[in-house]
Amino acid sequence: MPRGVVSTALKIGVYLPEDIAEKLIKVKDEKGLSLSRIVQLALYNYLAEEEFLRSDNVIAIIGLVYDHSLDHVDVILTDIQHHYLGLVISATHIHLDERNCLLAIFVRGKGGEVAKLFEELRKVKGVKSAKLMTLLA
């Protein structure tokens, strides 16, 4: 590097539990990527989503897998959506098996409000898995 030029690269060490490290090595071997590149991609995606959620106009899909046999979980999830009528565009309910359902909620609005809706939904008792997928308009 030429004299007087400052590098903005950052070298860090990361502690990973054994189970995550094993999965990471497997992905590295399967994809032919370096560990540094995998970490860079993961951090890029994380930071891009954080920035995206700060914007005023986001489009996202909230996916929830939940146990519908628990008392009132369907009603609670619907009530929460009704509190965010300005965000919720549409919702699709899919039966996965006798107990489990998938709810896909399509939303559009301010990133902060979308994040609040997501947090409320994923905290509902009976929600087994929750994912927020942000999309570019």
Average pLDDT over residues 59-69: 96
Q: Which residues pair with 60 in a beta bridge?
A: 107, 134
pLDDT at site 2: 62
Among 11-20, 31-40, 123-132, top mean pLDDT goes to: 123-132
Band (6; pLDDT cuts 50, 70, 90): low
| 36-59 pLDDT tens trace | 999 999 888 888 878 877 888 899
pLDDT at site 3: 66
The H or E element that residue 131 is part of is: strand 127-135
| 81-97 pLDDT tens trace | 999 999 999 999 999 99
Give backbone dihedrals phi and psi of 101, rounded to 5 degrees, phi first: -130, 155
Q: What is the mean pLDDT of the chain?
A: 91
pTM flag (> 0.85)? no
**Is residue 129 within 8 Å of 65, Cβ to Cβ?**
yes
